[in-house]
Structure 1
Amino acid sequence: MASQWHSMVSQKLFLARTLLGQLDRPAVQNEEQPPNEAEQALRREAAIQGSIELLLRSRRLLLVMVARLYQKKSEEPTTLAELASLIGSEPNEVNRLRELEQRSGSWWNHLEQLENSQSRPPATRKTVSAENIIAVSADSGPDRSAAALLKTLNAVKHFADDLEEQHSEW
């Protein structure tokens, strides 16, 4: 049963990888007229946001996969806290996920940042003029580059595959 969930996680990750692959190729409407800059930017943003949504969905499905590994057949946790209350805080998977949640730069942390960023409207920015220029550090948000998203995707895939392998040995 858990292997079906592993397949779903893998499917979402594959689709996210496919979307990210679109960023490398120029979109061609027809041979005569290449897409304009605005259309290219729109397609790029759609591919990035779509891949982020698929990554977030795969993380949620990963939590369900862990619950199924512990014979929780009807519950579908949506957060790590829900998973821990469902199967307990002692299992190795919960401890590993908590460690990832706490570690800056981990795939879990990156997905958390992406989810927060994607779930809120962009911050309004003041216009810059000679009178109001102040040197401050601006929060640019999480890294949404294709390379960063692929790194996170590969880490999630590795984690899911590792779980599947560990539990299929039994």
Structure 2
Amino acid sequence: MSSDWHTLTSQKLFLAETLIKISQQAPDRGTGEATLQGAIELTLRARKSLLSAIAQHYQHKSARPESLEELQGLIGKEAPETVQLEAIAHQTGSWWNHLDQLETSQGKPPSKKKTITEDNIIAVAIDTGPDRSATSLANSLAAMKRYLTTLTERHDEW
């Protein structure tokens, strides 16, 4: 595997992990939110560099796929990595699925909360969005790191 892309992906994941730890120790809500959003963005960027690393392995030196679909277009839907990532992406609760949800959530303005009065109390289920907790993000990040390690080991054998 291209060591430069592996290194970049690892760096982004390390930085995201560092920001998660800071967010958990943040003295105020604003700092915690800023560091958590920064960790999410770094993790999303790490995912894109992971796709570039895979493309590099398949001799697409200048390719920078932005999505799994673009990677599939480059190396094919039958390549082991795209088959595996496709399965992970469709698995509920997977790190890829969680990052997809976070990416969608990060790109939208926060929803407005309605004020509650005695006149308007109605029980309704609302979409709360993805789990943005530091623990959930740390779990997805750890799973992504395991995938990167496995991928690197597999390609280093070749």
Larger Rg computed on CA atoms: 1
How far apart, in 2, do the equivalents of 1:136 and 1:125 lie? 13
**Which residue number corresponds to residue 51 of structure 1?**
39
**Which residue number corresponds to residue 119 of structure 2?**
131
- Of 141, 157, 163, the match for 2:129: 141
Number of aligned residue pairs: give it: 158
CA drift of 1:24 comes to 3.7
- Of 143, 150, 154, the match for 2:142: 154
- Of 112, 115, 119, the match for 2:103: 115
CA drift of 1:161 comes to 1.1
Structure 2: which 5+ residue stretches go unaligned? none
CA drift of 1:116 comes to 0.5
Query: Does residue 1:2 correspond to 2:5, yes or no?
Result: no
Question: Identity, % of aligned pairs?
Answer: 49
RMSD after superposition: 1.2
TM-score, scaled to structure 1: 0.89
Deviation >4 Å, runs of 4+: none
TM-score, scaled to structure 2: 0.95
1:52-89 deviation line (CA, Å, top 9, x unaligned)? 00000001111101101111101110011100011111
**Which residue number corresponds to residue 16 of structure 2?**
16
1:112-148 deviation line (CA, Å, top 9, x unaligned)? 0000111000122332222222111121111111111
1:11-54 deviation line (CA, Å, top 9, x unaligned)? 00000111111134355xxxxxxxxxxxx111101110000000
Structure whose residues are more often helix by fraction: 2
How far apart, in 2, do the equivalents of 1:95 and 1:142 lie? 25
Structure 1: which 5+ residue stretches go unaligned? 28-39
Is the 8 Å Cα contact of residues 26 and 32 (structure 2) preserved in structure 1?
no
